[in-house]
Amino acid sequence: MAAIDQLPPLRDVIATHELSARKSLGQNFLLDLNLTAKIARQAGDLTGCDVLEIGPGPGGLTRGLLSEGARKVLAIEKDMRCMPALAEIEEAYPGRLQVINGDALEVNPLTHLTPPIRVAANLPYNVGTELLVRWLTPKKWPPFWQSLTLMFQKEVAERIVATPGSKAYGRLAILAQWRADARIVLHLPPGAFTPPPKVSSAVVHLDALETPRFEADAGTLSRVVATAFNQRRKMLRSSLKSISPDIEDRLVAAGIKPTDRAEVISLEAFCALAREVAKT
Ligand code: SAM
């Protein structure tokens, strides 16, 4: 297959800069540049967009994003060892890559980005989920991002796109589908990564909706849903007791049977309940 750029193959980059993968940083690298370009294409039309990339590592996905035409990539990487490899990419794409050495959970990237902004990342599972929830629950909507294209462990990806009644349905599905269109766009076997992880992975693409599907306060919805699914096998009148002393009345006012369990409640009904709970 044709090379996507003039830079050395990622195996050589890793050898030159001695980037042995560290488990503590969740380092499972993608070394096939045709695959990283394919993931970058799932992020949509990148021309005219700034892209926020979290966890570039040796830069496989970064190179994919740049070769697919991103106006600028802002990459935040915790591992200092990756900086020289990323500097080589900066040189090959003058003025189009900015790298910040830091923890994505602490750095605020927004001052360095100009809308429209897309987000793309292949991150360790725990950091990815935490960031996804943050990106989905700002008080104001629409958010800073137009789309998110994120690699997850397959089971987590399935939770994001799950529908009521399924085992995977829960907080992630509700938060994602309330304010975005979410779909799985790519499945990857463990062998796609170096070193291969124990689990399969999937790329999820989310497009931000202009307005949330149903009215609700983000904080209240998030709290109600987290509490409801914390004890998902219990009836809502019991699992949601801590939310309000008169939760049974509020459930009825929202059109929900108090004896129902969280896993059968639709997104629309959870939003109605969040509105009832927010009433004084
Ligand atoms: N994007 C590269 C690829 O696809 O080959 C690397 C993916 S690897 C699964 C995850 C990357 O995220 C690693 O480079 C790791 O050092 C970085 N990372 C882990 N935790 C991070 C954090 N809190 N903030 C920024 N980067 C982080």
Same domain, 112 and 241: no
**What's the domain count of the chain?**
2
Residue 63 phi, psi dihedral angles, 5° rounding:
-65, -40
Split at pLDDT 50, 70, 90, the class of 280 is confident
Same domain, 83 and 199: yes
Split at pLDDT 50, 70, 90, the class of 3 is confident
195 alpha carbon – ligand 1 mean position (Å): 13
Same domain, 176 and 141: yes
Same domain, 229 and 198: no
Same domain, 24 and 146: yes
Q: pLDDT (tens digit, 9 = 90+) per residue, 47-67?
A: 999 999 999 999 999 999 999
Q: pLDDT (tens digit, 9 = 90+) per residue, 99-133?
A: 999 999 999 999 999 999 999 999 988 899 999 99
- Chain-centroid distance of CA 78 in Å reads 17
In sequence order, which residues have a C-beta less than 8 Å from that of residue 39 and are 6 or more positions away?
Answer: 30, 61, 64, 120, 122, 149, 151, 186, 203
Q: pLDDT (tens digit, 9 = 90+) per residue, 208-251?
A: 999 999 999 999 999 999 999 999 999 999 999 999 999 999 99
Q: Please report, for the domain that includes residue 222, its CATH number.
A: 1.10.8.100
Judge whether 5 lies within some domain: no
Q: pLDDT (tens digit, 9 = 90+) per residue, 167-223?
A: 999 999 999 999 999 999 999 999 999 999 999 999 999 999 999 999 999 999 999
Name the residue of 29, 34, 42 to mutate for ligand 1: max ligand atoms within 8 A of Cβ.
29
Q: Above pLDDT 70, what percent of the chain?
A: 100
Averaged pLDDT for residues 78-94: 98
68 alpha carbon – ligand 1 mean position (Å): 21
Judge whether 112 lies within some domain: yes
The answer, yes or no, to whether residue 96 has pLDDT greater than 80, is yes
6 alpha carbon – ligand 1 mean position (Å): 23
Q: Ligand 1: which residue has its CA nearest to atom 8?
A: 27
CA distances (Å), 70 to each of 200, 260, 275, in order?
28, 47, 40
The answer, yes or no, to whether residue 148 has pLDDT greater than 90, is yes
77 pocket-lining for ligand 1 (C-beta < 6 Å): yes
Judge whether 98 lies within some domain: yes
27 pocket-lining for ligand 1 (C-beta < 6 Å): yes
123 alpha carbon – ligand 1 mean position (Å): 5
Judge whether 101 lies within some domain: yes
Q: Is 45 left (phi over 0), alpha (psi -120 to 50) or beta?
A: beta
Same domain, 45 and 104: yes
Which residue range is the domain that position 199 belongs to? 10-208
Judge whether 126 lies within some domain: yes
271 alpha carbon – ligand 1 mean position (Å): 34
In the listed set 173, 208, 243, which residue is the last one of a domain according to the structure? 208
Q: Which atom in ligand 1 lies closest to the alpha carbon of residue 107?
A: 24
Name the residue of 35, 65, 78, 130 to mutate for ligand 1: max ligand atoms within 8 A of Cβ.
78
User: According to the model, what pLDDT value does residue 1 have?
Assistant: 63
In the listed set 154, 185, 208, which residue is the last one of a domain according to the structure? 208
Where does residue 96 rank: exposed (0-12), middle (13-18), buried (19+ CB within 10 A)?
Answer: middle
For residues 29 and 31, give the distance between their C-alpha atoms in angstroms, rounded to a whole number: 6
79 pocket-lining for ligand 1 (C-beta < 6 Å): yes
Same domain, 201 and 236: no
Same domain, 38 and 60: yes
In the listed set 208, 237, 260, which residue is the last one of a domain according to the structure? 208
Q: Please report, for the domain that includes residue 88, its CATH number.
A: 3.40.50.150
128 alpha carbon – ligand 1 mean position (Å): 10
Q: Ligand 1: which residue has its CA nearest to atom 21?
A: 78
The answer to whether 186 touches 40, Cβ cutoff 8 Å, is no
Same domain, 123 and 60: yes
Same domain, 35 and 164: yes
173 alpha carbon – ligand 1 mean position (Å): 24
54 pocket-lining for ligand 1 (C-beta < 6 Å): yes
Judge whether 1 lies within some domain: no
Same domain, 197 and 256: no
Same domain, 162 and 197: yes
Averaged pLDDT for residues 250-263: 98
